């Protein structure tokens, strides 16, 4: 398997523009997580999905952020409008959750977002 695939790897945009980050989880995984990493705040969980359903979005900073998972193989994180303080590395991770399962999360390489 190719692992968790994120695109783009780098995104530079201007304040006020819409930004869409994409994630393809590992095939067969049923949970997907979006994280944000900054120097100031470290690694923060933004939202996670279980079987394509959002379970906990309490980490989403504000209404400018939204995430969708239309099917088991694709998810997006959208920021509209973007602001300079959104500059960070955004990671997607996936996991296979079972009753007696091995709860490892596998991370993508991340998208480095710069909002000018």
Report in angstroms the alpha-carbon separations of 32 from 10, 84, 114: 21, 26, 24
99 interacts with another protein by CB under 8 A: yes
- If binding means CB under 8 A, how many residues of this protein chain bind another protein? 26
Scanning 13-21, 61-69, 80-88, 92-100 for contacts with another protein by CB under 8 A, the matching segment is: 92-100
Following DSSP, what letter does each residue of 31-66 receive, concatenated?
A: EEEEEEEETTTEEEEEEEEETTEEEE-TT--STTEE
- Rounded to 5°, the CA angle 34-38-43 comes to 45
CB of 81 or CB of 96, closer to another protein? 96
Scanning 18-26, 60-68, 76-84, 97-105 for contacts with another protein by CB under 8 A, the matching segment is: 97-105
The 41-80 contact track toward another protein, x by CB under 8 A, reads -xx-x--xxx----xx------------------------
């Amino acid at each position: 398997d190719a692992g968790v695939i994120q695109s783009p790897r780098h995104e530079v945009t201007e304040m006020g523009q819409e930004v869409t980050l994409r994630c393809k989880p590992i095939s067969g995984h049923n949970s997907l997580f979006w994280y944000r990493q900054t120097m100031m705040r470290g690694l923060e969980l933004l939202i996670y999905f279980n079987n394509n359903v959002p379970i906990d979005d309490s980490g989403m900073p504000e209404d400018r952020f939204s995430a969708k998972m239309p099917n088991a193989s694709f998810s997006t994180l959208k920021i509209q409008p973007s602001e300079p303080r959104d500059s960070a590395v955004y990671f997607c991770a996936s996991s296979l959750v079972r009753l007696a399962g091995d709860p490892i999360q596998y991370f993508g390489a991340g998208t480095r977002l710069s909002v000018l």
